[in-house]
Homo-oligomer: A and B are copies of this chain.
Amino acid sequence: MHAVTYELIKECSRTGARLGKLHTPHGTFDTPMFMPVGTQATVKTISPEELYDMGSQVILSNTYHLFLRPGEALVKKAGGLHKFMNYNRGMLTDSGGFQVFSLGAMRKITEEGVTFRSHIDGSKKFLSPEIATRVQEDLGADIAMAFDECIPYPADFEYAKRSTNMTARWAKRCLDTHNSETQSMFGIVQGGMYPELRRMSVEQLGELDFAGYGIGGLSVGEPKDIMYDMLSKTTVYMDKQKARYLMGVGTPDCIMEAVSLGVDMFDCVFPTRVARNGTAMTETGRLVVRNATYAEDFLPIEEGCNCYTCRNFSRAYIRHLFKAEEIFALRLLTIHNLHFLLRFTTKIREAIANDTFPEFKASFFENYRDK
């Protein structure tokens, strides 16, 4: 029995969208869900209480960053990541795979694992399936991710095939190492932009007893229609009784399309990162509150939004804070953007429950400018 299990509640009668529940040691959460990213054991600028208030369920932290600083030993000593950062709902750690591959020239991949240079002090470090698994056990999130290779885009077929096979071997090494009663591990499907490799990866990982599955190697630079095409040729082969997590995707349009293709979980730094640049997310698209057009605009960021920011502050005030380089500005837009995306996934769940998801999707795309 896994510590974390997925329960399929309802399937959309006209699309691949599904309503589900994710049962974890820190509570049961609803899918489809968006997971706010707390890279370094904090969702940048905001508090756990602000996350609770906006309906946050599972949040994500990064093994790569915490392995380097403060180190998994300290987090373990603190009683695990939940206690260290004082967040009492669900938590997932990625494996560090994506981050080390992003280091480019600063890392070297072998069958054994990845040698890389720390972005903090340049020191030499090593992560392998075994180490990434043990580090995640020490961090103690509800869900750990298998250590994989993220195939760059574009990549030729032979490279993608070799890499996908290695990811499968690494996945087995992760599972063989993993030993926790309170944490479950998800495998990560790769396969590049090759449908047959995607299917092969699903089948290879499906033979291993993971609690759920990440879908990796998408949203890595390819056009959106290729991403949707690959996604459709991946989820169709996946076990319906396990959670499907599309890694690193978090814009409303991509979430909407991916949900209709049967995805349950999402994470992305997009909402928090653009917030810190002065960009708010709304149902019609982005609103750049730094722009001069909002200098004397006393409306809230998004009319009808009931987030803390929109209930209490005007565009003019938030713009002033950005111009004056005040930190409170970053927090106010972070709250709005995460609230927006969490509310967005709540509406998706309601539409699936009411069997109106296709209509909800059509109406969303009619209003949304930033495709």
Interfacial residues, chain A to chain B (CB-CB below 8 A): 40-42, 44-48, 65, 69-70, 74, 77-78, 84-86, 295-296, 298, 312-314, 316-317, 320-321, 323-324, 326-328, 330-331
> Which single residue of chain B is at the shortest CB-CB distance from A43?
B328
Whether B324 pairs with A327 at a CB distance below 8 angstroms is no
> Which single residue of chain B is at the shortest CB-CB distance from A48?
B312
Residues of B within 8 A of A45 (CB): 327-328, 331
From B42, B317, B324, B328, give the contact of A326 (CB < 8 A).
Answer: B42
Copies in the complex: 2
Q: CA separation between A45 and B44, bound complex, in Å?
A: 12
> Which single residue of chain B is at the shortest CB-CB distance from A313?
B86
Whether A317 pairs with B85 at a CB distance below 8 angstroms is yes
From B70, B296, B326, give the contact of A316 (CB < 8 A).
Answer: B70
Q: CA separation between A323 and B121, bound complex, in Å?
A: 13
Whether B323 pairs with A69 at a CB distance below 8 angstroms is yes
Residues of B within 8 A of A312 (CB): 48, 86
Given A70-B295, A84-B317, 6 more pairs with CB closer than 8 A: A47-B328, A69-B320, A70-B324, A78-B298, A78-B317, A85-B317
> Which single residue of chain B is at the shortest CB-CB distance from A320?
B70
Interface centre among A42, A48, A298 (most CB of B within 10 A): A42
Interface centre among A47, A86, A313, A316 (most CB of B within 10 A): A47
Q: CA separation between A69 and B323, bound complex, in Å?
A: 8
Residues of B within 8 A of A314 (CB): 78, 84
Q: Can you report 11 A-B residue pairs in the complex whose CB atoms are below 8 A from each other?
A: A41-B320, A42-B326, A42-B328, A44-B326, A45-B331, A69-B324, A70-B320, A74-B296, A74-B320, A85-B317, A86-B312
> Which single residue of chain B is at the shortest CB-CB distance from A73?
B296
From B77, B78, B313, B323, give the contact of A70 (CB < 8 A).
Answer: B323
Residues of B within 8 A of A77 (CB): 296, 298
> Which single residue of chain B is at the shortest CB-CB distance from A332?
B47
Q: CA separation between A237 and B295, bound complex, in Å?
A: 47
Q: CA separation between A204 and B330, bound complex, in Å?
A: 47
Q: CA separation between A41 and B41, bound complex, in Å?
A: 30
> Which single residue of chain B is at the shortest CB-CB distance from A323?
B69
Known contacts A313-B86, A327-B330, A330-B327: A74-B295 contact under CB 8 Å: yes
| Nearest Cβ on chain B to A254's Cβ, whole angstroms | 27
Residues of B within 8 A of A70 (CB): 295, 316, 320, 323-324
Residues of B within 8 A of A65 (CB): 324
Residues of B within 8 A of A328 (CB): 42, 44-47
Residues of B within 8 A of A316 (CB): 70, 74, 78, 84
> Which single residue of chain B is at the shortest CB-CB distance from A329?
B42
| Nearest Cβ on chain B to A28's Cβ, whole angstroms | 24
| Nearest Cβ on chain B to A222's Cβ, whole angstroms | 32
Residues of B within 8 A of A40 (CB): 320-321, 324, 326
| Nearest Cβ on chain B to A42's Cβ, whole angstroms | 5
Residues of B within 8 A of A42 (CB): 321, 326, 328
Q: CA separation between A136 and B317, bound complex, in Å?
A: 18
> Which single residue of chain B is at the shortest CB-CB distance from A321?
B42
Q: CA separation between A321 and B324, bound complex, in Å?
A: 24
